[in-house]
Amino acid sequence: MECRRLLLVLMLWGLASLAWAEGAGPASGPTPLAAADAGPEAPTTGEGASDPAPAANSTLATHDLAGVTLAVVLDDALQVAGGYGQADLATTRPVDPDTTLFRIGSVSKTFLWTAVMLLVERGELDLDTDVNAYLREVEVDDAFGEPITLRHLMAHRAGFEDTLQLFTVADDDPRRLAELLTAHQPKRVYPPGARTAYSNWGTGLAAQVVEDVVGQPYGDFLQQALLTPLGMQDTTWQAPRHMEAPRRERLATGYRPRHGGLVQQDYLQLGAYWPVGGMASTATDMVRWMRFHLNGGELDGLRLLAPETHAQMWQRAHDDRPDAADVAHGWQDVPYRGLRTLGHGGGTAAFLTNLVLVPELDLGVFVSQNSAHTMVPITQLPTLLIDRVAGFDPVPLLIHDEEPEALAELAGSYRNNRRVFSTFAAALGALNVTRLTPVSRDGFTLSHPMEGSDYYRRLDGATDVFENARGGRVAVLRNADGEVVALADAMGVHTLERVGLWEHPTTLLTLLALATLLGLTTLLGAWRRRGRDGGGPLPARVAGSLAIAAVGAQGLLIAALVRLTMGLADFDLSRMTDHYPDTGMFLLHYAGWLVAGAALLMLAALWPAWRGSGWGLWRRLHFSLFALALLLVSLQLWEWRIIGAAVI
C-alpha cells in the first residue's frame, strides 16, 4: 500500500496541472455536479510531492479562477490537502485547506441521508413507510394513489416537479422549514419510483421528517449525532450573514466573471432550506467525512453506523439500469470503467464542489472552488486519479461511420425532467433540450445548445447502455411495450424525457416567427391601402382593426420576450431573493394573454371577414392564416405555462 500512496502523491500534481490546463468538453463521467479549474500549491501532507506552485499560478491565471481547495484520501490516510490561489482577492487571503471554509452545496445532502440511516438503525424510521406518518405539520398531497416514502426521497424518485422557490428564501426569513415546505409544495408529476428527478424540495422534506421524529431541529441533531463525534469542528450550516466574526473571516469569498476579470458574488441564500445545500466545510474536515464512509461507518475506532446499515445506504433501491448511473439512498452511484464510484456534487452560486469515493480503491477526492464559470478540474481530476490508481489507460472512441439507421429508434429530442411543469417557470425548460443523433451502427451523439456535442458508443455486452470516451454512461429507458421513452443521464439524478414536435421549443419559435411575418405583412398591406377605400363595410373595418390590434399584441409579446431574455442573460442565483419573479416574467405573461385574446377575436371575425368584408381571396386567406397562427402561438404559450399558470 505504501508504494501506491507514494505513486499517487508523486503523480497527482502533474496530472492536475495537465488536466486543468487542457480544458474539457461536455461534463460527464463519475462526477455528478462538475465544477472548477484551478491549480495546486504544495500539499500540506504527502511525502515526495514536488512544488506545483508555478503550474498552479499558470492554471489559475489561464482560467480566471480565484481559489480551489483539494483533499485526497487513499487507504484510510490523507495523501494531499492543498489550498491554491486566494480565498479573497481584495485582501489576498490565501486558501488554507485546514482553515478556509468553502460552501459545499448539495454535498450537504450526504449528511442528511447519513442522519436518516442513523435513525433507521435505531428503529425510529422505516424507509418504506408513508412519510406523512412521520410528519407533524406538513402533509404531502395525494397523487397516483401511492404514498411517498423515504426510500423514494433518497432515490429522487418521489415524482415531484422542480421548484425555484427554494432559492427565493432569504437567510433572515423567519419561516420554519415546515412552513416553507407547506407553502412551496411542488406538484407530483410522476408516480413514485417511475422516474429519477432530482428534488431539493424532497430532500428538505426528509430533513423535516428527521426533525419531527427526533423532536429537535435537524441542525442540532446533525451536530450531536455526526459532526461532534467525527471531530468535524470546522463544518457548519450557519448562513454567512449569521456566522460569528472569527468564522465568517475564514469563509472564502465567491466570484463571477465580468469584463474579463472577476467581481464579487453574493452568497446563495436558502433560509430554513439549508439542509439541502447550505453547509460549509474545510478540505481537512471533509477528509474525515470521506474516511468515515470509506470505512463503512467508522472513523478512528468510533463506529456510528453498523456495517450492514452503511452497506444498505449504498445499495440501489431500483434495478432498471444496473450498468448505468443511478442513486443509492441519496448518493450518486456512478459506474466508471468497471469501478463503482459514490459521491455527490454541489453548487451554490459561486461555489462548486465535488466529492467522489471509490470503495474498491479505498480512494476519496474532495475538491471545491469559489468561482463557477468553468468545470474542468472537478469533472476531470477525480477520474484522472482513478485512472492512475487503477491503471486505466483511456483512449478516444473510434466511430464506425456506417449504418446509423441501426439506432434510428433512439433519434429525437429529450428534455431534462428536473424542471418546473405547472407554473410559468416551466418555460425555462425550453433551454434544456438535448438532441440524440445516431452516427454509427453502435453510437450516437448527444447535443445540447449550451454544452456542445458528445459521442456515446454502446457498452460491450449491453443493449441500452452507451458510454463516452471519459467513462460517462447514458441508459435508454423503455416502456412496457419496448418503446424508447427517456434517457438516464451520466450523473444518475436526472432523466431526459423524449419529446415530440409539439413539446419542442422550436415549435413555439417557428410559430412565433410565422405570426410575426404575417403581422408585418398585415401592417404593410394596411400602409399600402391607407386612404384608398375608406375602410370598406363594417365587417371589413372590424376585421381590419382586430388584425392591427393583434399585431400590437404580438409586438408586446416579442418585446416582453426580449426583456426577459436580457434579464436572464445576467442571471445570478444569489440574487433571487430580491429579483424573482423577474418583471419580464409578468410582462411576458400578460402579453401572452393579450395575444390569446386577439387570436380568439380574430377567429370570431372569420365569418364576417369571409362573408361581408368585400375583401379579395388573398386578403381573406391572409387574415385567416394570421388568426390560425396566433391561435397556435397561444396554445404553445399555454403548453409552456407562459399563460394559464401562476407566475412563479
Q: Average pLDDT, stretch 344-359? A: 94
CA nearest neighbour of 47 among 2, 95, 1: 2
Q: Average pLDDT, stretch 75-83? A: 92
pLDDT band at 324 (very low <50, low <70, confident <90, very high): very high
Cα-based angle 282, 283, 284 (whole degrees, multiple of 5): 95
Last residue in a domain, options 444, 473, 499: 499
* Domain identity same for 264 and 310: yes
- Residue 40 is predicted with a pLDDT of 31
- Residue 56 is predicted with a pLDDT of 44
Q: Could you give the 3-state DSSP secondary structure of residue 438?
A: strand
What rounded mean pLDDT belongs to the chain? 89
pLDDT band at 60 (very low <50, low <70, confident <90, very high): low
Amino acid code (one letter) for 193: G
Cα-based angle 38, 41, 47 (whole degrees, multiple of 5): 125
Chain segment 499-545, per-residue pLDDT in tens? 999 999 999 999 999 999 999 999 999 998 876 656 678 889 999 99
DSSP classification of residue 257: E
Grid coordinates given for 436: 440524440
DSSP track, 11-46: HHHHHHHHHHHH--SS--SS-SS----------SS-
Q: Report how far residue 541's alpha carbon sits from residue 355's, in angstroms, rounded to the nearest whole number.
A: 68
Q: Indicate the pTM of the whole model.
A: 0.90
* Domain identity same for 468 and 545: no
- Residue 380 is predicted with a pLDDT of 77
> With helix as H, strand as E and coil as C, how does 574-607 read?
HHHHHHCCCHHHHHHHHHHHHHHHHHHHHHHCHH
* Residue 648 placed within a domain: no
- Neighbour-count burial of 337, counting CB atoms closer than 10 A to its CB (0-12 exposed, 13-18 middle, 19+ buried): middle
Amino acid code (one letter) for 73: V
- Neighbour-count burial of 315, counting CB atoms closer than 10 A to its CB (0-12 exposed, 13-18 middle, 19+ buried): exposed
In which domain, by residue range, is 87 found?
2-107+220-390
Residue 168: CB partners within 8 Å, gap ≥ 6? 576, 577, 580
Chain segment 287-298, per-residue pLDDT in tens? 999 999 999 999
Whether 385 and 71 have beta carbons less than 8 Å apart is answered as no
Percent of the chain topping pLDDT 90: 75
* Domain identity same for 57 and 157: no
Sheet strand arrangement including 77-88 = 93-94, 77-88, 67-74, 363-369, 351-358, 339-348, 331-336, 326-328
Q: Average pLDDT, stretch 114-130? A: 98
Chain segment 422-451, per-residue pLDDT in tens? 999 999 888 889 999 999 999 999 999 888
Last residue in a domain, options 214, 245, 280: 214
Q: Report how far residue 8's alpha carbon sits from residue 49's, in angstroms, rounded to the nearest whole number.
A: 9
* Residue 118 placed within a domain: yes
Q: Average pLDDT, stretch 366-370? A: 93
Q: Report how far residue 293's alpha carbon sits from residue 307's, in angstroms, rounded to the nearest whole number.
A: 10
Q: Where are the alpha helices (DSSP H) in 36-107?
A: 53-62
Last residue in a domain, options 469, 499, 529: 499
- Residue 430 is predicted with a pLDDT of 85
Dihedral pair phi/psi, residue 364, rounded to 5°: -135, 140
The packing angle between helices 538-569 and 583-604, to 10°, is 160
Amino acid code (one letter) for 105: G
pLDDT above 70: residue 236: yes
* Residue 370 placed within a domain: yes
Number of domains observed in the structure of the chain: 4
Grid coordinates given for 361: 480503491
- Residue 58 is predicted with a pLDDT of 53
* Domain identity same for 436 and 341: no
* Domain identity same for 460 and 343: no
> Range with the lowest mean pLDDT among 64-68, 162-166, 342-346, 482-486?
64-68
- Residue 535 is predicted with a pLDDT of 63
* Residue 158 placed within a domain: yes
* Domain identity same for 311 and 263: yes
- Residue 48 is predicted with a pLDDT of 34
Amino acid code (one letter) for 206: A
- Residue 57 is predicted with a pLDDT of 53
Whether 135 and 239 have beta carbons less than 8 Å apart is answered as no
- Residue 563 is predicted with a pLDDT of 93
Chain segment 1-42, per-residue pLDDT in tens? 444 443 444 334 333 333 333 333 333 333 332 222 233 333
* Domain identity same for 525 and 629: yes
Query: What is the CB neighbour count within 10 angstroms for residue 97?
Result: 26
pLDDT above 50: residue 45: no
* Domain identity same for 510 and 598: yes
Q: Using the Cα atoms of residue 119, residue 31, residue 393 and residue 68 in order, give the sign of their dihedral.
A: negative
DSSP track, 542-572: HHHHHHHHHHHHHHHHHHHHHHHHHHHHT--
* Residue 644 placed within a domain: no
Greater pLDDT, 402 or 54: 402
Q: Report how far residue 21's alpha carbon sits from residue 40's, in angstroms, rounded to the nearest whole number.
A: 12
Grid coordinates given for 601: 377575436
Q: Report how far residue 311's alpha carbon sits from residue 297's, in angstroms, rounded to the nearest whole number.
A: 9
Chain segment 578-610, per-residue pLDDT in tens? 888 989 999 999 999 999 999 999 999 999 999
* Residue 32 placed within a domain: yes
* Residue 621 placed within a domain: yes
* Domain identity same for 229 and 335: yes
- Residue 130 is predicted with a pLDDT of 98
CATH of the domain at 49: 3.40.710.10
* Domain identity same for 419 and 515: no
* Domain identity same for 479 and 551: no
Peptide bond into 581 cis (omega under 30): yes
Grid coordinates given for 335: 459506474
What is the length of the chain? 648
Chain segment 555-570, per-residue pLDDT in tens? 999 999 999 988 887 7
* Domain identity same for 155 and 196: yes
Query: What is the CB neighbour count within 10 angstroms for residue 409?
Result: 13
Q: Using the Cα atoms of residue 586, residue 589, residue 595 and residue 599 in order, give the sign of their dihedral.
A: negative
* Residue 486 placed within a domain: yes
